[in-house]
Amino acid sequence: MYESAHSHMRWIFALALLIGHPGLVSAAQPEVATVGLYLAYVPELDLKSNSYVADFYLWFIWKGKIDPTQTFEFTNLIAPVELSKVPAYTDAAGNAKPEIMPDGRSYQVYHVQGRFWHPFPTINFPFDEQDVVLSIEDSKHTVSEVVYQIDLKGTTLSPALSIPGWKLGKVVPVTTVKRFPTNFGYSTGSELDQYSHVDFTVHVIRPRVGMFFKVVLPISLIMLITFGALFCKPDDIDARLCLTITALISAVALQYTTTTELPPAGYLLLIDKIFLLSFATILFTTFVSIFSNRLAGEGNHSGAHRLDRWGLIVLPIGFFGGALLFTFTS
């Protein structure tokens, strides 16, 4: 009798704990906000400033007390004062008011125009590939309150979208959890806050054939003219030096015009390596010309012609082989 009463008391005590602490039964689930994007235009892409202008439509679909359209932000926006964010659904006063869908969920669309930032690594220029990224994040609610999910069916690019000088891939959305190494001065617990984050990424690639004819072919022609110096008579040193010096000046000018629109970098770009190789090759061609002229001046014409022949074999192989090696190992 005593054991039966004691057992009942334990059950009552356990029930009281569960009623007083509902979290012991099931933790509260975060609200889910569906996010989609339609990229319409990218009228400007500036590698020098690592920025681009984008025109797109962004929509949210949600059901719950939290309105995610009131607290989302673009984390890679450059000039907030220049941002245009126009809601499609408004009230009589023109303020944003979501549309209620037949299934009871709320729906809002924004037409957004602004300048955004993303680092553009140019180490493989002129055959580089870049990412155009539009990042959004909830600025107030942590992942315990709101999480983003992607509208995969609706997220896409405009068929009319084009970026001059680039080939476009598909838009790839990725959801992550953004963890900050600070609580921004407000302590809410033992752990730092985490926020739901979405990156809409469009991969863009330079057309290799077009960049070859625009950048690589001109320096190749300059080098072929340089090697022409070794076809001149060893005695005609003026003609030889005229060709090599003119080629050097042309190569320097071409490098300057090619890299003018690129951002400053603390590393060598692929095109820099090719130009440095061209400078070295022009220098060695000049040395071969001078030594060949000295041999001819000493009466050793056979030695001068032999040196020229070796130069016509080794120097072109060194330049074009080195340029191919740099290209395929970058």
- Determine the structural domain holding residue 41 and report its residue range: 28-206
Looking at the structure, tell me whether residues 182 and 323 fall in a common domain.
no
Looking at the structure, tell me whether residues 193 and 229 fall in a common domain.
no
What is the per-residue pLDDT for 188? Answer: 57
The answer to whether the CB of 126 falls within 8 A of the CB of 270 is: yes
CB atoms within 10 A of CB 257: 10
20 domain-assigned: no
Q: In whole angstroms, how far apart are CA 100 and each of 62, 91, 175? A: 10, 13, 25
128 domain-assigned: yes
18 domain-assigned: no
What is the per-residue pLDDT for 159? Answer: 95
* Proportion of the chain above pLDDT 70, given as a percent: 89
Task: Look at residues 180, 206, 232 and tell me which one is the last residue of a structural domain.
Answer: 206
Looking at the structure, tell me whether residues 253 and 197 fall in a common domain.
no
For 282, list phi and psi in degrees, rounded to 5.
-60, -40
The domain that holds 323 is classified in CATH as 1.20.58.390
What is the per-residue pLDDT for 330? Answer: 75
Looking at the structure, tell me whether residues 182 and 261 fall in a common domain.
no
73 domain-assigned: yes
Looking at the structure, tell me whether residues 131 and 261 fall in a common domain.
no
Looking at the structure, tell me whether residues 188 and 45 fall in a common domain.
yes
Distance CA 99, CA 105 (A): 8
**Average pLDDT in the 164-175 region?**
94
96 domain-assigned: yes
Distance CA 247, CA 121 (A): 30
- Three-state DSSP at 244 gives helix
pLDDT tens digits, residue range 84-132? 999 999 999 989 999 999 999 999 999 999 999 999 999 999 999 999 9
pLDDT tens digits, residue range 173-223? 999 998 877 767 766 555 567 899 999 999 999 998 989 999 999 999 999
What is the per-residue pLDDT for 21? Answer: 47
The answer to whether the CB of 76 falls within 8 A of the CB of 53 is: no
Looking at the structure, tell me whether residues 217 and 184 fall in a common domain.
no
Averaged pLDDT of the chain: 89
302 domain-assigned: yes
Distance CA 89, CA 241 (A): 73
The domain that holds 192 is classified in CATH as 2.70.170.10
Looking at the structure, tell me whether residues 288 and 155 fall in a common domain.
no
300 domain-assigned: yes
Task: Look at residues 206, 236, 270 and tell me which one is the last residue of a structural domain.
Answer: 206
Looking at the structure, tell me whether residues 61 and 88 fall in a common domain.
yes
Task: Look at residues 206, 230, 259 and tell me which one is the last residue of a structural domain.
Answer: 206
Looking at the structure, tell me whether residues 198 and 213 fall in a common domain.
no
Looking at the structure, tell me whether residues 161 and 36 fall in a common domain.
yes
Structural domains in the chain (count): 2
Q: How confident is the model at residue 265 (pLDDT cuts 50, 70, 90)?
A: confident
- Using the predicted structure, report yes or no on whether residue 152 has a pLDDT greater than 90: yes
pLDDT tens digits, residue range 12-39? 444 444 444 444 434 578 999 999 999 9
Looking at the structure, tell me whether residues 155 and 233 fall in a common domain.
no
279 domain-assigned: yes
